[in-house]
């Protein structure tokens, strides 16, 4: 049986998600570019199509059950049976614990954890029927703890436990689940962090690079390369793993 090569990438209008979507298209997948704002997906879709690939931009709130189900149904109808899912959608609501509102806690948990749960639950049925699937969840080095990110760190650590559980439950159906934990990656999100703390982005990057063994900060392409490995045919015996893509060891 030929397995459909259809990938779904959430939070794919920019940053890491856009890099992953373009890499998977280059690897031969038709890609559903999913983001909260559907028009924002258009540049990524057009870039994929310009290089001969197939892509579909879809607007979705990954924290909303009905929105997720409608999105996955549309992808299945317009692109084909999804067999790869990359849960990348995420937001930041940073603050020290005593300043953090319950709303900021809930917002981060809803997008990162609830969103990954809803998307995985919606897609796994297609994967198990196909007898093949790949789920990749985007965690973070912040899962190890990071000042001002109690919500984000908890969500990213939770994704690691979620990933390992999916690997246990879905393995017998030919579905693997792995997580990637990026370090400092040059994206709009890290630029926004630099702006929030009042530091020029180049200075922000240089300070980070000085603490990274490979002496540079990461790019979306670094993460996309790791995703490409996890979703490959040859990675079928790798499941339940957390790969830190951070330019050096993390413990």
Answer yes or no: is pLDDT of 54 > 70. yes
> pTM surpassing 0.95?
yes
Please name which of 106, 108, 120 lies closest in space to residue 65, comparing C-alpha atoms: 120
- Please check whether residue 130 lies inside any domain of the structure: yes
SS3 track for 73-121: HHHHHHCCCCCEEEECCCCCCCECHHHCCHHHHHHHHHHHHHHHHHHHH
Q: Do 25 and 147 fall into the same domain?
A: yes
Residue 249 lies in a domain: no
Do both 48 and 123 map to the same domain? yes
Q: Give dist(CA 15, CA 88) in Å, integer.
A: 10
Same domain, 31 and 91: yes
pLDDT band at 47 (very low <50, low <70, confident <90, very high): very high
The answer for residues whose C-beta is within 8 angstroms of residue 237's C-beta and 6 or more apart is: none
Asked if residue 1 is part of any domain, the answer here is no
Considering the domain architecture, whether residues 166 and 192 belong to the same structural domain is answered as no
Q: Based on the structure, what is the number of domains in the chain?
A: 2
The sheet with strand 175-182 has its strands ordered as 55-59, 30-35, 6-10, 84-87, 133-138, 175-182, 242-245
| In a shared domain, residues 201 and 237 | no
State whether residue 14 is helix, strand or coil.
coil
Which domain covers residue 125, as residue numbers? 6-183+220-244
Q: pLDDT digits over 123-153, tens only?
A: 999 999 999 999 999 999 999 999 999 999 9
- Shared-domain flag, residues 91 and 192: no
Question: Same domain, yes or no, for 83 and 206?
Answer: no
Q: What is the pLDDT of residue 3?
A: 86
- Same domain, residue pair 225 and 213: no
Section 47-72 average pLDDT: 98
- The predicted model gives 171-187 an average pLDDT of 98
Q: Round to whole Å and give the CA distance between 49 and 37.
A: 19
* Predicted confidence (pLDDT) at residue 1 exceeds the cutoff of 70: no
- Both 14 and 117 in one domain: the answer is yes
Query: In this structure, what DSSP letter does residue 2 have?
Result: P
Looking up residue 151, the CATH number of its domain turns out to be 3.40.50.720
Query: So what's the pLDDT on residue 2?
Result: 80
> What average pLDDT does the segment 220-225 reach?
98
Annotated catalytic sites, by residue?
A: 152
Encode pLDDT of 193-214 as tens digits: 899 889 999 999 999 999 999 9
Average confidence (pLDDT) over 176-186: 98
Query: pLDDT per residue over 97-131, tens digit each?
Result: 999 999 999 999 999 999 999 999 999 999 999 99
Give the percent of the chain with pLDDT over 70. Answer: 100
Are residues 92 and 173 both part of a single domain?
yes
Residues 161, 62 within the same domain: yes
213 and 171 both lie in a single domain: no
Residue 231 has pLDDT above 70, yes or no: yes
What pLDDT, on a 0 to 100 scale, did the predictor assign at position 114? 98
């Amino acid at each position: 049986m030929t397995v459909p090569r259809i990938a779904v990438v959430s939070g794919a209008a920019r940053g890491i998600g856009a890099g992953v979507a373009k890499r998977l298209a280059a690897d031969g997948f038709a890609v559903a570019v999913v983001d909260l704002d559907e028009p924002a997906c258009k540049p990524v879709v057009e870039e994929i199509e310009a290089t001969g690939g197939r892509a579909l931009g879809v607007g979705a709130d990954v924290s909303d059950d009905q929105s997720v189900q409608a999105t996955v149904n549309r992808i299945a109808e317009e692109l084909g049976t999804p067999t790869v899912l990359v849960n990348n959608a995420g937001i930041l609501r940073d603050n020290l614990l005593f300043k953090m509102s319950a709303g900021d806690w809930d917002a981060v948990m809803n997008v990162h954890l609830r969103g990954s749960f809803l998307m995985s639950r919606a897609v796994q049925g297609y994967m198990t029927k196909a007898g093949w699937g790949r789920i990749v969840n985007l965690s973070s080095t912040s899962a190890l703890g990071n000042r001002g990110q109690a919500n984000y760190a908890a969500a990213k650590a939770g994704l690691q436990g979620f990933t390992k559980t999916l690997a246990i439950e879905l393995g017998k159906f030919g579905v693997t689940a792995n997580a990637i934990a990026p370090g400092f990656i040059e994206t709009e999100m890290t630029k926004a962090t630099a702006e929030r703390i009042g530091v020029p982005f180049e200075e922000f990057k240089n300070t980070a690079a000085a603490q990274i063994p490979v002496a540079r900060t990461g790019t979306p392409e670094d993460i996309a390369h790791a995703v490409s490995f996890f979703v490959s045919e040859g990675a079928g015996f790798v499941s339940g793993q957390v790969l830190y893509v951070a330019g050096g060891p993390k413990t």
